[in-house]
Structure 1
Amino acid sequence: MVTDILNWLQSLPQPALVGATGLLVFLECTIGLGFLAPGESGLLVAATTAHTVPRFLILWGVVTVCATLGDTIGFAIGRRWGPRLRETKLIQNHGVDAWDRATGILHRRGALAVFFARFLPVIRTLMPAAAGTSGLPFRKFLPASFAGALSWSALHISIGVALGEAAKKIEGAMSTGGFIILAVLAAVGVFFFLRWRKKRAATPKEETDSTV
């Protein structure tokens, strides 16, 4: 079944699959939508189809650009609304702790925080807006965001490719093992059936001999 799903994904038009993945990543990287759009999960699923160099490079480029664009919008939102974002219902319900952690890391690490936050769930969604709120210059934010998106997407696509290949091998091994088990069970069943028939065939002869 896993192989069938992976084969189905690989049969989808590449532009549609890559475009949908890029959209999910873009939405995840935009503040607020990151709590709803499963960008990371979508990327891992799509990455299982990136088993050739061209597919890998295309998906890598699109996801990197979409993630950077999403971060840029988040940064602009933070610059526009400032610290008031922390008091919004969305942040209060889903990410006050993450927001405080993001702003704390920003004050200590500056642009480096933007890079490393890319690898942290939830904080990844809030960091761009927090960076805009903190007053971090855009000329420092953008390179850090792009470098983080580039590294993060490469890592997750590589993981997705490895998972896809591993899933196929595991399913293949399980299928082979299943056939082996069935063969062994069949052989055991045949063995006992033949033994039972032999015993039954010998019973009348033994009864005849005892009567004589």
Structure 2
Amino acid sequence: MVVLVAGLATLGETTIGVGLLLPGETVLVAAAMAVPDPMAAVLVTVVVAVAATSGDTIGYLVGRRFGPRLRESRLIGRMGRDTWDSAAGTLRRHGSWAVLGARFLPVVRTMTPAAAGASGLPVHRFLPAAAVGATVWAAMHVTAGYLLREAAERFEHAFGVLGWAVLGVVALVAVIAWRVRRRRAAGRTAAQGATTTGRPG
């Protein structure tokens, strides 16, 4: 079930028109934290990499089908023509390297495949870059999620519920201290400003 959810979420997140609705990294890390063992984590990585590559390929084919006029569509207007122009400019300068790099930029990665198709980037340059980027991206976030899960389990085993309570109190105290310091700093800045303003010219 976790594998299916991760794959579908990734496919939606990487397909043009849907990508802004789903935070891919968050979903992926959360899914990885739910897997029971390393083999399951590897399976999630493979499925997510394939789903991400498939989503990119769909975007590329849309770009190839509609060409540069896709920029004037309502879809791109809603997602941001500035982002589209930025992706297109980066593609012109860097080609397949831009496809690889865009995988790690949340909004840009949704538009880059379609922009690559519209710009005429050959599929034999697009697809390997998309696949490599998707695989590295998937492996990085699944590993992070799995390690977070293991760290949480070890912490709970070592300290139990009391440990989590203490950690929560420490975090709360840190936040309160930070807010107090920030308020005092703001007060000092305001006082200095008032003093400066009150001095005769």
CA distance in 2 between counterparts of 1:170 and 1:96 reads 46
2:4 maps to which of 9, 14, 19:
19
1:81 paired to 2:56:
no
User: For each residue in 1:49-96, what CA deviation from the matched residue of structure 2 results, as whole angstroms up to 9, or x when unmatched?
Assistant: 235221111111101111111111100000011122222222222222
Mapping 1:12-51, distance limit 5 Å: 16-50=1-35
For 1:165, give the aligned amino acid.
E
The residue aligned with 2:181 is: none
CA distance in 2 between counterparts of 1:54 and 1:138 reads 32
User: For each residue in 1:20-61, what CA deviation from the matched residue of structure 2 results, as whole angstroms up to 9, or x when unmatched?
Assistant: 110110111110011223333211110112352211111111
Q: Secondary structure at the match of 2:19?
A: helix
Q: Secondary structure at the match of 2:127?
A: helix
CA distance in 2 between counterparts of 1:18 and 1:114 reads 25
The residue aligned with 1:131 is: 116
CA distance in 2 between counterparts of 1:178 and 1:53 reads 25
Q: Secondary structure at the match of 1:35?
A: coil
Please tell me whether the aligned partners of residues 156 and 163 of structure 2 are also in contact (alpha carbons under 8 angstroms): no
The residue aligned with 1:111 is: 96
List alignment gaps of at least 5 residues for structure 2.
167-201
Greater C-alpha Rg: 1
Stretch deviating more after TM superposition (121-130 or 160-169): 160-169
Please tell me whether the aligned partners of residues 50 and 157 of structure 1 are also in contact (alpha carbons under 8 angstroms): no
Instruction: Note the aligned Cα RMSD (angstroms).
Output: 2.0
Residues 40 and 134 (structure 1 numbering): CA distance in 2 closer, same or farther, change over 3 Å? Answer: same
Please tell me whether the aligned partners of residues 115 and 144 of structure 1 are also in contact (alpha carbons under 8 angstroms): yes
1:122 paired to 2:107:
yes
CA distance in 1 between counterparts of 2:87 and 2:164 reads 50
The residue aligned with 1:157 is: 142
For 2:31, give the aligned amino acid.
A
1:95 paired to 2:80:
yes
The residue aligned with 1:175 is: 161
Please tell me whether the aligned partners of residues 95 and 122 of structure 1 are also in contact (alpha carbons under 8 angstroms): no
Residues 176 and 100 (structure 1 numbering): CA distance in 2 closer, same or farther, change over 3 Å? Answer: same
List alignment gaps of at least 5 residues for structure 1.
1-15, 181-212
Quote how far apart the aligned CAs of 1:174 are.
Answer: 7.3
For 2:96, give the aligned amino acid.
A
Quote how far apart the aligned CAs of 1:151 are.
Answer: 0.4
TM-score between the two structures when normalised by the length of structure 2: 0.75
User: Percent same amino acid at aligned positions?
Assistant: 48
Q: Secondary structure at the match of 1:50?
A: coil
Q: Secondary structure at the match of 2:56?
A: helix
Please tell me whether the aligned partners of residues 60 and 153 of structure 1 are also in contact (alpha carbons under 8 angstroms): yes
CA distance in 1 between counterparts of 2:155 and 2:86 reads 40
